[in-house]
Amino acid sequence: MIEVSELSKEYKIVKKQPGLSGALKSLFHREYMTKKAVSQISYSIDQGELVGYIGANGAGKSTTIKMLCGILTPSEGSIRVNGIVPYHERQKNARNIGAVFGQRTQLFWDIAVRESYDLLKHIYQIPEDQYKKNIELFTEVLQLEPLLGIPVRQLSLGQKMRCELAAAFLHNPSVVYLDEPTIGLDVAVKARIRAFIREMNQLHHTTVILTTHDMQDIEEICKRIIIIDEGTILYDGSLQSIKDRFGDKRVIHFELDLQSPFTIPAELSEYVSLQANGEDEEGRISLSFSNQAISGADVISAMLKEYHIRDLTIADSKIETIVQEIYERGV
């Protein structure tokens, strides 16, 4: 139902000249350079799939989602969503999709939430019974009742996000794109939002493409993940198979009293590696290793012999660790 083939997107950006004279010069003569944000990606997604679209900052996730929604036109390649080319038929595509983009709102700022929903009902021509049913269900699952009479501008971030999600699903779209739907929210609101997304998928077989930096979102919602790095796909497959493949990876975060720069103790050098961010001024470092090769207890005891450890935490979310490893070292 979503077919992406050899998709690329380049941005044309103005080359900045240094200093005031450079700024003045560029008023008259602009030099451009291109930035390849997405490069030759291909995949297909079936109806009803829950896909996590993940990658480090600047990897190309939002650019891809914007092309899927029809907001941006690809530089090369093609997209079809339910047979529609989104950037050619934006309006037709919009009837089939829902979207939530982080901080931006599709609700009307100055009117009560319920009135925004009424307007969306007219825009999408949602039949009365479907509208009523959805409002009732969404109000219950997302606990919207106390919010419906309030203008969007008076809502907190978490309240607004719950209202946004309801708006995105109101017309029973076949695909919903969610860009960071849980960013900055408290644990209870995150849980409610995740439960809502799962319920919508079960009820209507809605396809959900979710970009997030929160690996708990991925664990709780997605069956498949696509990892993107510098515009290309690093991994596309089931969450379970990546866990099976990399599930032995562990990370321990240490806070050390360092007198000199950190070096890995000789007895660990074969088994552990220092994570890419190295050490910070507080003496914090992270070591990753395979627990097939060495146990966490042995890593800690070797560290204790050489360093004074102020504190340590063992990374608790496996997928978090795996993804960090993949971002740093590839698949």
Smallest separation, CB 11 to ligand ATP (Å):
3
Smallest separation, CB 132 to ligand ATP (Å):
36
List of E strands, the chain: 2-14, 32-45, 50-54, 76-81, 97-101, 175-179, 207-211, 224-229, 232-238, 249-257, 272-274, 284-290, 308-314
CA dihedral 215, 187, 222, 246 (to 10 degrees): 30
**What is the full DSSP assignment across 243-285?**
HHHHTTEEEEEEEEE-SS-----GGGTTTEEE-TT---TT-EE
CA distance 51 to 226: 7
Q: Which is nearer to ligand ATP, 143 or 232 (CB)?
A: 232
Structure-token pair, residue 302: 């070797």
Question: What character string, x for contact with ligand ATP (CB under 6 A) and - otherwise, covers 61-100?
Answer: xxx-------------------------------------
Question: What character string, x for contact with ligand ATP (CB under 6 A) and - otherwise, covers 47-66?
Answer: --------x-xxxxxxx---
Question: What character string, x for contact with ligand ATP (CB under 6 A) and - otherwise, covers 4-43?
Answer: -------x-x---------------------x-x------
**What number of chain residues touch ligand ATP (CB under 6 A)?**
12
Smallest separation, CB 61 to ligand ATP (Å):
3
60, 40 contact by CB (below 8 A)? no
Q: Which is nearer to ligand ATP, 21 or 57 (CB)?
A: 57
Q: Which is nearer to ligand ATP, 31 or 282 (CB)?
A: 31
For position 153 contacting ligand ATP by CB under 6 A, the verdict is no
Other Cβ atoms less than 10 A from the Cβ of 278: the count is 11
Residues contributing to the site for ligand ATP (CB under 6 A):
11, 13, 35, 37, 55, 57-63
